Amino acid sequence: MRNRVGVLVSAGLVRIEEYDMPKPRDGEVLIRVRATGICSGDIYAFKGLPVWFTLPAPFGHEPVGDIVEVGPNVTALKPGDRIMAIGSPAYADYLVAKASSVAKIPNNIPYEYAIGEPLAAIVNVVRVTQPRLGDYVAVIGSGYMGLLLIQALRGMGFSELAAFDIIDDRLKLAKEFGATAIINPSVDDVDKAIKELTDGNGFNVVFEVSGNPSGVDLATRIIGKRGRLSIVSYHSLPVQVNFRIWDAKGIDLVMAVPARSGDEYATIDLKIAARLLERGVFNQEKLITHKWRLNELQEALEYASKKPREYIKGVIIP
């Protein structure tokens, strides 16, 4: 049997190649992929921006599927288990992953709504940022990751949980997912909003989830004295920041990214993500807006690269 794998040949060009079936070795499992999330990192790479892998590369790292075979010394998983995983290359029919980077998913959740790697990222974000009860919290960027973060933060007992975005439909979702206030900085008066929401003190915790330098500027503006700025987004290009304001406010900076949690990202955060998905803390039904087949990967990335308003998150169904 052959395995189709999506390869990013060069910026703007995907090719579907056929390889021999991979074989799970010690501590590994073979996964039949049922859905793979299209990560914004993959879109950056497709657009020719610098990312963490070099081209050409088989890619995709957000697989969901079924275990078909386990390698030696794998006891916690068996063929037939429905799972989310962190592993690559996941734009494929099959992939091999470390058993330690796999978490079981509930039977009642469709594969495409059980994409796990971004959920693990959000679990990591909250656990390393450690917002406190009663904090005034802001989330800048209500795209896929920002909205997942709102879901995770809902009910944590904040004085405010404010969502910022320039697309009103996304702010509507943020509200539905638990934001206490929504602000569109392209039309709303941001200073007035800070005054009303935080008594002019600024936010104690600001999550930067826009991936845009203007989001870092906005964070710098709305954060309060000794506030904690949590960088969630992947910033592909160098970002200029105003250290004078960071200095005056005495802020605390947290890089809330996967590298921060190292191996725990897959071994602990992914398991927590699966549990929170089961409990309904995370719900991706309204976030997965587009689906394509593996042979449409080129079109999918072309479409997603254009950042259409109605696009929040796409998945590839092999």
The minimum distance between CB 276 and Zn ion, in angstroms, equals: 17
The residue (of 124 and 220) whose beta carbon lies closer to Zn ion is 124
Site for Zn ion in 117-136 (CB under 5 A): 117
The minimum distance between CB 154 and Zn ion, in angstroms, equals: 22
x/- track of binding to Zn ion for residues 275-294 (CB under 5 A): --------------------
Contact 141, 208 (CB under 8 A): yes
Asked if residue 79 has a cis previous peptide bond (ω within 30° of 0), the answer is: no
The residue (of 88 and 220) whose beta carbon lies closer to Zn ion is 88
The minimum distance between CB 90 and Zn ion, in angstroms, equals: 10
Stretch that binds Zn ion, among 47-55, 115-123, 181-189, 218-226 (CB under 5 A): 115-123
The residue (of 35 and 39) whose beta carbon lies closer to Zn ion is 39
Stretch that binds Zn ion, among 77-85, 116-124, 157-165, 236-244 (CB under 5 A): 116-124
The count of chain residues that interact with Zn ion, using the rule CB under 5 A, is 2
When CB distances to Zn ion are compared, the closest residue is 39
The minimum distance between CB 196 and Zn ion, in angstroms, equals: 35
Stretch that binds Zn ion, among 31-39, 45-53, 192-200, 223-231 (CB under 5 A): 31-39
The minimum distance between CB 211 and Zn ion, in angstroms, equals: 12
The minimum distance between CB 172 and Zn ion, in angstroms, equals: 25
DSSP string for the chain: -EEEEEEEEETTEEEEEEEEPP---TTEEEEEEEEEE--HHHHHHHTT---SS-SSEE----EEEEEEEE-TT--S--TT-EEEE--S--SBSEEEEEGGGEEE--TTS-GGG---HHHHHHHHHHHHH-PPTT-EEEEE--SHHHHHHHHHHTTS--SEEEEE-S-HHHHHHHHHTT-SEEE-TTTS-HHHHHHHHHTTS-EEEEEE-S-SHHHHHHHHHHEEEEEEEEE-S---S-----HHHHHHHT-EEEE-SHHHHTTHIIIIIHHHHHHHHHTTSS--TTTEEEEEEGGGHHHHHHHHHT--TT-SEEEEE-
The minimum distance between CB 91 and Zn ion, in angstroms, equals: 12
The residue (of 87 and 185) whose beta carbon lies closer to Zn ion is 87
The residue (of 117 and 269) whose beta carbon lies closer to Zn ion is 117
Contact 92, 5 (CB under 8 A): yes
Residue 39 binds Zn ion (CB under 5 A): yes
Q: What is the DSSP pairing of strand 2-10 with strand 13-20?
A: antiparallel
Site for Zn ion in 142-181 (CB under 5 A): none
Stretch that binds Zn ion, among 111-119, 155-163, 174-182, 191-199 (CB under 5 A): 111-119
The minimum distance between CB 158 and Zn ion, in angstroms, equals: 26
The residue (of 121 and 183) whose beta carbon lies closer to Zn ion is 121
The residue (of 69 and 117) whose beta carbon lies closer to Zn ion is 117
Cβ-based neighbours of 35, under 8 Å, separated by 6 or more: 63, 64, 65, 111, 112, 114, 115, 315, 316, 317
The minimum distance between CB 153 and Zn ion, in angstroms, equals: 20
The residue (of 39 and 173) whose beta carbon lies closer to Zn ion is 39
Q: Which residues bind Zn ion (CB under 5 A)?
A: 39, 117
